[in-house]
């Protein structure tokens, strides 16, 4: 959004002179509001008939539409008397305006006008303008005693220094700092906040020096930070999930007013977001849980954004989110409203669950190849894979990692094999368990991280390393494709189920679309899933998916056999095939489970030959 300066005041106060000079300095187009009157008004004015408020309405509406377009284009300077508050409200209906109010006494303006016979206005007409004038309580008020040059200098100085910001960001860590730079890069003003304790004392000052633009202001106090924002305020938190979010929200809350929007961009647990959404609803403040994906680079250049909240709240923040988001293949922004309350954070959590399994699959590929190939060869092989459906951001970074050397050796060899996590993998698994969805890939990936963290025990129990794994590379590629399809299928089914349970009305194809760029799990396969989901046929009924899984089943079986033979842990590859075997088995041994449950607990079972639920006294021989 670009600035539109409206220079307002009674006739003869110098609007046109100051406006043209300002436009020239800022290299913006200059417009005179009188040039936008509809024909009926022009005819009335040419007959000397004064315009009524009713006459002015269509004219102000035309101007408001123009202002909206100028804002979307390069900005503008407009000279317009805008004497009444109701006129200004109509003008500012679509956007924020920077009001420059030129004021002076009746006598001074009258004297000036008398010196300029071409602008001569009767004493009565000028008096009536002063009578109608309602000076705004906002905007930059300038005394016309100063020369036009001085007035323009003052406008330039004030508009750079004391302008209110469009967005506020709390937390200048990895993500907050990068997002702030992204927003500034789109010409949008940002106020930033970071605490200033101990090691963090200079975080804000350093950011301001790094950004080096008058579009940003920095704060270490919440009150000044919040007051520096345009209303309705839009405040994005980029801080660690959990109690810290509640503490920061409570610290900000006293300075908010009705209609402000709080956006939690961190990886919060979706039930926390649902709770915060309800809490702020009662205060008249909009709360949006917005998943952000793309890591540091995505945040800086264009992330994928998964918003959750009301439509009204989303409309308020949409221009900023769309400006900073990545673009899909059609150039549309990778941001969407996924549903209300916790939907955005739920979708982000599942994104991370899919991410966990994608990462684990690549780790398993590496585990299978490492005994027989050097890092350069593995990287070369993965580069060959990195095309079309198999191309992905995670594959790309894995290739870079495999090639990274430190002092002649590979850095990867120096990294301790204990995988950490910050919560989202556990939350997505927990959600799958709570909703009864077999998202086995993400849970297997999570537990693989837990196993990795048991390093001392693993060292104690360690067996001989496999010297070689007999594996056909073309089979491994197909097995990897197979497992990735299962992973995505499970992830989308999990979201589908949650959306039904929580009435989120989530558009799954739209989720796949915003995941085609900007995020950590962007890939060629995601583009295929966007198409499958657009077809609106359940994924298990999609002939392309099912035939590809059938076709690749033998390869994953072969890979698993080879891996198991060499005692290589392959939890995610195994989970993919086991899920497929389960889903393609008509008669599972679950009848025995039901019988056991009924035997020890009288839990009842259903029969395939009779309706109703049944229980048996299993100790009597039937």
Ligand X SMILES: NC(=O)C1=CN([C@@H]2O[C@H](COP(=O)(O)OP(=O)(O)OC[C@H]3O[C@@H](n4cnc5c(N)ncnc54)[C@H](OP(=O)(O)O)[C@@H]3O)[C@@H](O)[C@H]2O)C=CC1
Q: In what order do the strands lie in the sheet with 261-264?
A: 216-219, 190-193, 167-170, 234-237, 261-264, 286-293, 304-308, 335-339
355 binds, among ligand X, ligand 5RP, none (CB under 5 to 8 A by kind): ligand 5RP
22 binds, among ligand 5RP, ligand X, none (CB under 5 to 8 A by kind): none
Closest approach, Cβ 521 to ligand 5RP, in A, equals 8
Exposed, middle or buried by CB within 10 Å (0-12, 13-18, 19+), for 601?
A: exposed
Neighbours of 443 (CB within 10 A): 24
Closest approach, Cβ 263 to ligand 5RP, in A, equals 16
Distance of CA 66 to the CA centre of its chain: 29
297 binds, among ligand 5RP, ligand X, none (CB under 5 to 8 A by kind): none
Instruction: List interacting residues with ligand X (CB under 6 A).
Output: 171-176, 194-195, 200, 203, 238-241, 244, 247-248, 266-267, 292-293, 295, 422
Distance of CA 529 to the CA centre of its chain: 20
Buried b (16+ CB within 10 A) or exposed e, 75-106: bbbbbbbbbbeebbebbbebbebbbbbbbbee
526 binds, among ligand 5RP, ligand X, none (CB under 5 to 8 A by kind): none
Q: CA torsion 56→61→66→69, rounded to 10°? A: 160
CA angle 434, 440, 444 (to 5 degrees): 110
160/250 with CB nearer ligand X: 250
Neighbours of 422 (CB within 10 A): 12
Alpha-carbon distances of 54 from 57, 89, 135, 414, 608, rounded to whole Å: 5, 15, 21, 77, 76
- At 325 the three-state DSSP class reads coil
DSSP string, 458-515: HHHH--PPPS-----HHHHHHHHHHHHHHHHHHHHHHHHHHHHHHT----HHHHHHHT
200 binds, among ligand X, ligand 5RP, none (CB under 5 to 8 A by kind): ligand X
Are 340 and 270 contacting, i.e. CB atoms less than 8 angstroms apart?
no
Closest approach, Cβ 291 to ligand 5RP, in A, equals 8
For 556, residues 6+ apart whose C-beta sits below 8 A from its C-beta are 478, 479, 482, 483, 573, 576, 577
58/295 with CB nearer ligand 5RP: 295
Instruction: Please state, in angstroms and rounded to a whole number, the distance separating the CA atoms of residues 262 and 253.
Output: 10
Pairing of the two strands 613-614 and 605-606: antiparallel
Exposed, middle or buried by CB within 10 Å (0-12, 13-18, 19+), for 44?
A: middle
Closest approach, Cβ 299 to ligand 5RP, in A, equals 10
Query: Which one of the listed residues 355, 358, 364, 493 is annotated catalytic?
Result: 355
267/398 with CB nearer ligand X: 267
195 binds, among ligand X, ligand 5RP, none (CB under 5 to 8 A by kind): ligand X
44 an active-site residue? no
Instruction: Please state, in angstroms and rounded to a whole number, the distance separating the CA atoms of residues 582 and 259.
Output: 50
238 binds, among ligand 5RP, ligand X, none (CB under 5 to 8 A by kind): ligand X
355/364 with CB nearer ligand 5RP: 355
71/424 with CB nearer ligand X: 424
Closest approach, Cβ 382 to ligand X, in A, equals 22
Pairing of the two strands 76-79 and 167-170: unpaired
164 an active-site residue? no
Instruction: Please state, in angstroms and rounded to a whole number, the distance separating the CA atoms of residues 248 and 444.
Output: 35
421/497 with CB nearer ligand 5RP: 421
Q: Give me the half-sphere count of Cα atoms (radius 13 Å) on the Cβ side of residue 60.
A: 22
Closest approach, Cβ 62 to ligand X, in A, equals 44
Helices (H), 186-310: 203-211, 222-227, 243-252, 270-282, 295-301
189 binds, among ligand X, ligand 5RP, none (CB under 5 to 8 A by kind): none
421 binds, among ligand X, ligand 5RP, none (CB under 5 to 8 A by kind): ligand 5RP
328/358 with CB nearer ligand 5RP: 358
50/198 with CB nearer ligand X: 198
113/511 with CB nearer ligand X: 511
Are 310 and 317 contacting, i.e. CB atoms less than 8 angstroms apart?
no
- At 564 the three-state DSSP class reads helix
Closest approach, Cβ 176 to ligand X, in A, equals 6
Instruction: Please state, in angstroms and rounded to a whole number, the distance separating the CA atoms of residues 31 and 151.
Output: 18
Closest approach, Cβ 621 to ligand X, in A, equals 59
Q: Which residue has the tokens 């993400």?
A: 442
101/419 with CB nearer ligand X: 419
Position closest to ligand X via CB? 173
Closest approach, Cβ 280 to ligand X, in A, equals 18
222/482 with CB nearer ligand X: 222
Closest approach, Cβ 452 to ligand 5RP, in A, equals 12
425 binds, among ligand X, ligand 5RP, none (CB under 5 to 8 A by kind): ligand 5RP
Helices (H), 503-570: 508-514, 524-534, 543-565
Extended beta strands in 260-368, E state: 261-264, 286-293, 304-308, 335-339
Are 342 and 270 contacting, i.e. CB atoms less than 8 angstroms apart?
yes
Query: Which one of the listed residues 15, 234, 316, 348 is annotated catalytic?
Result: 348
Closest approach, Cβ 265 to ligand 5RP, in A, equals 11
Instruction: List interacting residues with ligand 5RP (CB under 6 A).
Output: 267, 293, 295, 352, 355, 421-422, 424-425, 520
Residues carrying an active site annotation: 348, 355
């Amino acid at each position: 959004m670009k600035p539109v300066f409206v220079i307002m005041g009674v006739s003869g106060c110098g609007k046109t002179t100051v406006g043209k000079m300002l436009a020239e300095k800022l290299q913006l187009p200059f417009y005179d509001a009188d040039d936008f009157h509809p024909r009926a008004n022009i005819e009335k004015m040419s007959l000397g008939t004064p315009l009524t408020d009713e006459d002015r309405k269509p004219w102000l509406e035309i101007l408001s539409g123009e202002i909206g377009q100028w804002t979307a284009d390069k900005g503008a300077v407009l000279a317009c008397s805008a004497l009444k508050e109701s006129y200004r409200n109509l003008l500012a209906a679509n956007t924020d305006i920077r009001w420059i109010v030129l004021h002076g006494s009746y006598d001074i303006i009258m004297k000036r006008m008398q010196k300029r016979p071409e602008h001569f206005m009767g004493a009565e007409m000028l008096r009536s303008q002063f009578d109608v004038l309602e000076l705004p309580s906002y905007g930059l008020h300038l005394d016309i005693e100063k020369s036009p040059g001085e007035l323009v200098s003052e406008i330039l100085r004030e508009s750079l220094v004391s302008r209110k910001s469009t967005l506020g960001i709390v937390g200048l860590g990895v993500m907050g700092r990068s997002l702030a730079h992204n927003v500034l890069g789109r010409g949008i003003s940002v106020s930033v906040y970071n605490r200033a304790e101990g090691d963090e004392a200079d975080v804000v000052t350093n950011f301001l020096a790094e950004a080096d633009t008058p579009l940003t202001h920095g704060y270490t106090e919440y009150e000044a930070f919040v007051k520096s924002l345009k209303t309705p305020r839009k405040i994005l938190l980029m801080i660690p999930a959990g109690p810290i979010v509640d503490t920061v929200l409570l610290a900000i809350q006293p300075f908010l007013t009705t209609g402000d929007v709080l956006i939690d961009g961190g990886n919060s647990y979706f039930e926390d977001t649902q709770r915060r959404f309800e809490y702020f609803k009662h205060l008249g403040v909009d709360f949006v849980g917005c998943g952000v994906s793309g890591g540091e680079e995505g945040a800086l250049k264009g992330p994928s954004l998964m918003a959750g909240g009301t439509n009204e709240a989303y409309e308020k923040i949409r221009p900023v989110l769309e400006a900073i988001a990545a673009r899909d293949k059609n150039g549309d922004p990778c941001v969407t409203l996924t549903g209300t309350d916790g939907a955005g954070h739920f979708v982000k959590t599942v994104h991370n669950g899919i991410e966990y399994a994608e990462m684990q699959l690549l780790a398993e590929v590496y585990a299978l190849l490492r005994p027989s190939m050097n890092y350069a060869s593995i990287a070369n092989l993965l580069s060959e894979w990195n095309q079309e459906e198999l191309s992905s951001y995670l594959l790309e970074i894995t290739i870079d990692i495999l090639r990274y050397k430190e002092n002649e050796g590979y850095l990867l060899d120096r990294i301790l094999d204990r995988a950490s996590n910050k919560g989202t993998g556990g939350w997505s698994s927990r959600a799958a368990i709570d909703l009864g969805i077999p998202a086995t890939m993400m849970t297997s990936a999570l537990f693989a991280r837990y196993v990795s963290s048991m390093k001392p025990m693993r060292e104690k129990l360690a067996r001989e390393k496999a010297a070689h794994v007999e594996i056909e590379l073309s089979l491994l590629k197909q097995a990897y494709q197979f497992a990735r399809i299962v992973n995505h299928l499970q992830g989308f089914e999990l979201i589908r189920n949650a959306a039904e349970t929580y009435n989120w009305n989530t558009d799954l194809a739209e989720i796949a679309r915003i995941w085609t760029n900007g995020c950590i799990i962007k890939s060629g396969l995601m583009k295929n899933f966007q198409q499958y989901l657009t077809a609106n046929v359940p994924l298990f009924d999609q002939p392309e998916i099912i035939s590809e899984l059938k076709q690749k089943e033998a390869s994953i079986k072969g890979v698993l056999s080879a891996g198991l033979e060499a005692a290589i842990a392959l939890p995610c590859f195994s989970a993919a095939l086991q899920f497929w075997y389960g889903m393609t088995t008509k008669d599972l041994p679950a009848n025995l489970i039901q019988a056991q449950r009924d035997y020890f607990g009288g839990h009842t079972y259903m029969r395939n030959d009779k309706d109703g639920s049944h229980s048996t006294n299993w100790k009597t021989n039937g």
